[in-house]
Amino acid sequence: MADVFQSTFSPTLADSCFEQLEREGFCCLPDAISPQTLDAFRQEIKRLVKLNGRKFLFLMNPHKDQDSVFQSLASSKNFTKFLLHLSNLGTKTDNSGFELLNVLRVVPGDKSAGQALNFHFDAEVVTALVPIDIPEGPPEKAGHLVAIPNLRKIRKFVLHNMLEKLLLQNRIAGKLISWIVLRNKNEKYIYKLKPGNVYFFWGYRTLHANLPVDPKETRSTLLFHFGNPHKNSSIVKFIKNRHYRLDVAQKT
Ligand SMILES: O=C(O)CCC(=O)C(=O)O
Ligand SMILES: [Fe+2]
């Protein structure tokens, strides 16, 4: 079966994507998703909205369902090779064993108040953003991405990461960041999303959120998160070890 990800992986292309990520914070692979695949994604979202009503939808790992249309992308050799290559360079470790995380977000405009301008850093090193439905119109009504790329480095200590997140990922900080980033109709931090394209960025290092959505419209995106920036962290090892010990204790 043909690979649904239309940008053929090559180490040269992935290396130049990495350099672009380091330099500018974003790397776009244009038309990586075919109109047919995009159409299949849109049909599935229509079905989900019909089923659940017009509310914010956040589906964790839809690709794990073998029958899901999103499965095709998660199992694409081209796509997953990009994720692995970029995350390995991004963390300077091997992420081959890392489990792919995938989220489907559907934001109806009239329910977008709580979902827009929620600035955050992702937990994984690389994020691939697949826009599916992006309304037409001015950026502040089309739900485009707003980001300060590569704002921070990968933190050596998990605690440092946690404190930073605590400091920046709250309502007051969010309001302040929105004001700083969007004042004077500044478009410097706005990344316009075009369905069909796939956007890679350093999710862990980039402070990002989506802009509001026109109340009459719906915005949907598929996100993939990959690569562990804290592989050698003793806290993460301790937590994992504890889980393992508890698991073994419960089974014996
Ligand atoms: O939907 C988007 O454009 C971004 C969502 C996001 O940043 C996330 O789910 O981590
Ligand atoms: Fe994110």
Residue 217 backbone zone (phi > 0: left; psi -120 to 50: alpha; other: beta): beta
Å from CA of 77 to ligand 2 middle: 23
Angle CA 46–48–49, to nearest 5: 65
Closest residue CA from atom 6 of ligand 1: 209
Å from CA of 89 to ligand 1 middle: 22
Identify whether the C-beta of residue 168 lies closer than 8 Å to the C-beta of residue 178. no
Ligand 1 pocket, Cβ-based, cut-off 6 angstroms: 103, 105, 122, 129, 145, 208, 210, 221, 223
**Within 13 Å and on the Cβ side, how many CA atoms surround 154?**
22
Identify which ligand lies nearest to the alpha carbon of 206: 2
What pLDDT was estimated at residue 118? Answer: 93
Out of 28, 101, 145, 207, mutate this one to test ligand 1's pocket (max ligand atoms within 8 Å of CB): namely: 145
CA distance 38 to 33: 6
φ, ψ of residue 206 to 5 degrees: the values are -105, 125
Token readout for 235 is 């806290």
- Amino acid residing at 55: K
Output the tens digit of pLDDT for each of the chain's 252 residues.
789 999 999 999 999 999 999 999 999 999 999 999 999 999 999 999 999 888 999 999 998 888 899 999 999 999 999 999 999 999 999 999 999 999 999 999 888 778 899 999 999 999 999 999 999 988 889 999 999 999 999 998 889 999 999 999 998 999 999 998 888 778 899 999 999 999 999 999 999 999 999 999 999 999 999 999 997 665 555 555 555 455 445 444
pTM of the model: 0.91
Closest residue CA from atom 1 of ligand 1: 221
- The three-state secondary structure class of 237 is helix
- Structural domains of the chain ordered from first start: 11-251 (2.60.120.620)
Out of 219, 221, 225, mutate this one to test ligand 1's pocket (max ligand atoms within 8 Å of CB): namely: 221
Angle CA 148–56–193, to nearest 5: 40
Helix (H) or strand (E) holding 234: helix 234-251
What pLDDT was estimated at residue 42? Answer: 97
Report the atom number in ligand 1 closest to the C-alpha of 107: 1
CA distance 113 to 104: 18
